[in-house]
Structure 1
């Protein structure tokens, strides 16, 4: 006797979502890295004789991508403003939101040579957003459980990220502000490096979170860059040496850092590498050292080979709807 035909039930119809309903903040760290890469290539005009417009072309393309992503995230906030605070509760969201604000500093630094008015507006918005995000996270850490106060490299972005503000602030004439930002950021960075080292010696870092360790290189590269801009080479040189040591450690432990495979957290590799190339270029010009010039060139090539593919993969994950799921982004 033959079995009756079996007709499986139709697959469930997925819930229809609104446009930009789950825009993931994790899209911003690699964009921040692309901004850093564009600024590094702009600097290469002086050091390596690169055509003056090349860095500007990169910065122009990144600016369009950044503005699109900002609009997409604002569209999510308009639909449900509480998603902002929900995104701050998870590490990828927290890193993404602060990267969005820090990218504003880099955008202002990119356009200050064309329009001081627009650069001032963008700088002011970025500073206000940075204070908002850092203040909210600090409040959560202070009032939350003690277990949630473990130091992470993202603290550098939150509390040392103000060191990026002199990039547009100094050309705009805010010298006193930049000086305060530099010394304050230096003190906080040293405290975070010390606390992170003590914590690392006590317990190993889980493999999925190891790429975040690359963020430690960012302040070690940006602090001496600003020191050079402020005319403090005697402060910049020791920090440059620290940056070289940190990058060497990251390269030597590259396999250990990436053992968990590609993830959106690889965005943490992007900006620190670009910032390192920039400071090495400045140090090479300041000292006339051919060794530093070679290091600057090699790091610029490495940044150019690594940052765009990482950014492309993260953007593709967003376009396929995977990025929001993997980073637990809030939904409006």
Structure 2
């Protein structure tokens, strides 16, 4: 009897070992979409309940994934360590940290103190994580084939630090912190973008399941716009340039990904596309408020619709897969 229990325990205890940390990208996408719909409420008079609904989903997703990944860490820490040491997947440990930086945008309406605590934890851990990853890059030889869009996550993670600061009422107290995060994040985003673009041009294409991660290449411009505006307090020529670059990269990347659903089996890795799309929609709405015109309104509306449809589709496919017990298959 004891022999049977012992033999079955590892299988039961380690049943979440396959769970990737990158699933926190769903929290990022839902949070970004909630912020975008909040901006749509201000710009177009969209129903406010939509933003609240996505906010609730984002918070629930964060708690559910934190518990699930906590179980993985407790029962199979070796799997977590191997994931962190992986030259590609290790960068995605920034996704739960970015989630901690974005969630205060939603929590501030519930409890300011809680929002400040969550943001502070996220800002400290994100800075330490970025330092760790950059140290890894310059102390160990890297392979060009490993230069994927996931490498941008640590840099973009730093750019996320200033986003919630004005809402927290700390924009004057932490101005230097905001400037540090924006400067370092944008600085590293440039060479990383160049390196990844070079890899895409001269090496084998990314596997089909990883193709949605290409949208991460647009995130530095969308998030960079938001961070720069939050830090400086206004939209100037540089911010406008970031907006224009974002539009160009979004057009290029959406064009490449339009056939993906018909030629590749769904994987939860597709959630990598959710936050870049939501951030693009939010940035477009902010710019439309700054420079109102038929063109900017149409662009903002179209990008918001695309982000909403894609994220709802990802959520439906993921939840239906979980309901059918296919999560491990969808991770592979």
Q: TM-score, normalising length from structure 1?
A: 0.85
State the SS of the aligned residue for 2:24. Answer: helix
Residue matched to 1:305: 309
Name the CA distance, whole Å, in 2 between partners of 1:139 and 1:320: 42
Residue matched to 2:236: 233
After TM superposition, give the deviation of residue 82 of structure 1 in Å: 3.7
After TM superposition, give the deviation of residue 138 of structure 1 in Å: 3.5
After TM superposition, give the deviation of residue 326 of structure 1 in Å: 5.7
**Conserved in 1, the CA contact under 8 Å of 2:155 and 2:184?**
no
- Say whether 1:134 aligns with 2:130: yes
Name the CA distance, whole Å, in 1 between partners of 2:71 and 2:157: 25
> Which residue, 292, 297, 301 being the options, matches 2:296?
292
Name the CA distance, whole Å, in 2 between partners of 1:132 and 1:322: 35
Name the CA distance, whole Å, in 2 between partners of 1:80 and 1:19: 6
Residue matched to 2:5: none
**Conserved in 2, the CA contact under 8 Å of 1:33 and 1:307?**
yes
After TM superposition, give the deviation of residue 323 of structure 1 in Å: 3.9
Name the CA distance, whole Å, in 1 between partners of 2:316 and 2:214: 21
In terms of fraction of residues, the more helix-rich structure is 2
Q: TM-score, normalising length from structure 2?
A: 0.85
Residue matched to 1:6: none
> Which residue, 247, 251, 260 being the options, matches 1:248?
251
**Conserved in 2, the CA contact under 8 Å of 1:41 and 1:54?**
yes
**Conserved in 1, the CA contact under 8 Å of 2:161 and 2:181?**
yes
Q: 1:139 to 1:327 in 2, by over 3 A?
A: farther
Name the CA distance, whole Å, in 2 between partners of 1:304 and 1:320: 24
Any gaps of 5 or more consecutive residues in structure 2? Answer: 1-7
1:151-162 aligned at under 5 Å gives the runs 151-162=147-158
Name the CA distance, whole Å, in 2 between partners of 1:142 and 1:318: 39
Residue matched to 2:4: none
> Which residue, 32, 40, 50 being the options, matches 1:36?
32
Name the CA distance, whole Å, in 1 between partners of 2:21 and 2:217: 21
Name the CA distance, whole Å, in 2 between partners of 1:228 and 1:293: 19
**Conserved in 2, the CA contact under 8 Å of 1:29 and 1:95?**
no
Name the CA distance, whole Å, in 2 between partners of 1:49 and 1:75: 42
After TM superposition, give the deviation of residue 56 of structure 1 in Å: 2.0
Deviations 1:205-237 (A, max 9, x none): 233332211101111111112223332422110
- Say whether 1:18 aligns with 2:22: no
Aligned structure 1 segments of 4 or more residues deviating by more than 6 angstroms: none
State the SS of the aligned residue for 1:121. Answer: helix
**Conserved in 2, the CA contact under 8 Å of 1:25 and 1:97?**
yes
Name the CA distance, whole Å, in 2 between partners of 1:134 and 1:326: 29
Name the CA distance, whole Å, in 1 between partners of 2:266 and 2:327: 12
Deviations 1:28-60 (A, max 9, x none): 112211111111111111111123343123202
Name the CA distance, whole Å, in 2 between partners of 1:262 and 1:20: 21
Name the CA distance, whole Å, in 1 between partners of 2:57 and 2:128: 28
Name the CA distance, whole Å, in 1 between partners of 2:266 and 2:328: 15
**Conserved in 2, the CA contact under 8 Å of 1:92 and 1:265?**
no
After TM superposition, give the deviation of residue 113 of structure 1 in Å: 3.3
101-110 vs 14-23, which deviates more?
14-23
After TM superposition, give the deviation of residue 126 of structure 1 in Å: 1.6
Q: 1:136 to 1:185 in 2, by over 3 A?
A: closer
What RMSD, in angstroms, separates the aligned Cα atoms of the two structures?
Answer: 2.7
Name the CA distance, whole Å, in 2 between partners of 1:191 and 1:314: 34
1:161-310 aligned at under 5 Å gives the runs 161-172=157-168, 173=170, 174-208=174-208, 209-229=210-230, 230=232, 231-255=234-258, 259-310=263-314
Any gaps of 5 or more consecutive residues in structure 1? Answer: 1-12
**Conserved in 2, the CA contact under 8 Å of 1:93 and 1:327?**
no
Q: Computing the radius of gyration over CA atoms, which structure comes out larger, 1 or 2?
A: 1
State the SS of the aligned residue for 1:171. Answer: helix
Q: 1:38 to 1:126 in 2, by over 3 A?
A: same
Name the CA distance, whole Å, in 1 between partners of 2:198 and 2:14: 44
Q: Which has the higher contact order (CA 8 A, sep 6+)?
A: 1
